[in-house]
Each structure stands twice: as C-alpha cells, then as structure tokens.
Amino acid sequence: MRFIGKLFYFLFYALFFSIFAFTAMFLGGVSGTASTFYIMIEKGDMQQNLTMAIAALFVLWLIVIMLSSHNKNVLKHNKLLAAAETEKTTEASPQSDAEKIALLIAKNNQKKPIGN
C-alpha cells in the first residue's frame, strides 16, 4: 500500500509540473517570450531557455518531495518520542495494588449498561 501511495504521489506531482512546464512553453511560443519565468525573459535561444525553465521546475519538484519525506520522518519521530515519554511517566508514578484494583473496578462499572 505504501508503494502504491508513493507512486500516485509521484505521478501527481510529475503531472502537475509537466502541465506547468507545457503551459510555460505554450505561453513562450504564443508571445515570443515566456513571461511566466524570469529565466526566459532575456533574448536568446528559446530551446535553451525552455530547458532551463524545465530544469528549474524539476529541481523545485525534487525539493518538494524531499521536504515532504523529511516532514513525515519528523512526525513519526515525534510520535515515538511522545510514546516513550508517556511510558516513562506511567512507570514513574507507581500505584499501590489497592489503587489499581479500584481503578479496574471503576472502569468495569462504567462499561455496564444502565438498568441492569
């Protein structure tokens, strides 16, 4: 499931940036200069300018993918730290056997339906 999700994620961004690049090429072809990208404003070889713009889009796409992956790893790490912290706090506050039994009885009584 993870592989399929990553594949769809990759295809979505590839499609999005491809459409963005083709739009830039269309605007460049219609107006003579691609007003979308500052790289392409200077006069010169249109093919080279388009290549530079597509390369810039590709680098931007890679940065988005890397940051997304990094954020997922950070969130996973934070969850693990929070779980470890709650484990420490439960171990740090020992309860007597009587308190544990009282808590279990209270939880059990809450689960019973009213009227029985």
Structure confidence at residue 46 (pLDDT)? 63
Six-digit token pair at 88?
A: 């420490």
Which pTM value belongs to this model? 0.32
Q: By C-alpha distance, which of 54, 57, 56 is closest to 25?
A: 54
Digit-by-digit pLDDT tens for the chain (116 residues) are: 577 778 888 888 888 887 877 777 666 555 544 455 555 455 556 666 677 777 888 888 888 887 777 777 778 888 888 877 777 766 555 566 667 777 777 776 665 555 55
Give the start-to-end residue ranges of the domains of the chain: 2-111
Q: What integer pLDDT is reported at residue 34 of this predicted model?
A: 46
Q: Residue written as tokens 């010169």? A: 44
Task: State residue 49's pLDDT score.
Answer: 67
pLDDT of residue 115: 55
Given a contact cutoff of 8 angstroms between Cβ atoms, the answer to whether 25 and 13 are in contact is no
Instruction: Give residue 30's pLDDT.
Output: 52
- Token pair 């950070």 is found at 74
User: What is the reported pLDDT for 93?
Assistant: 57
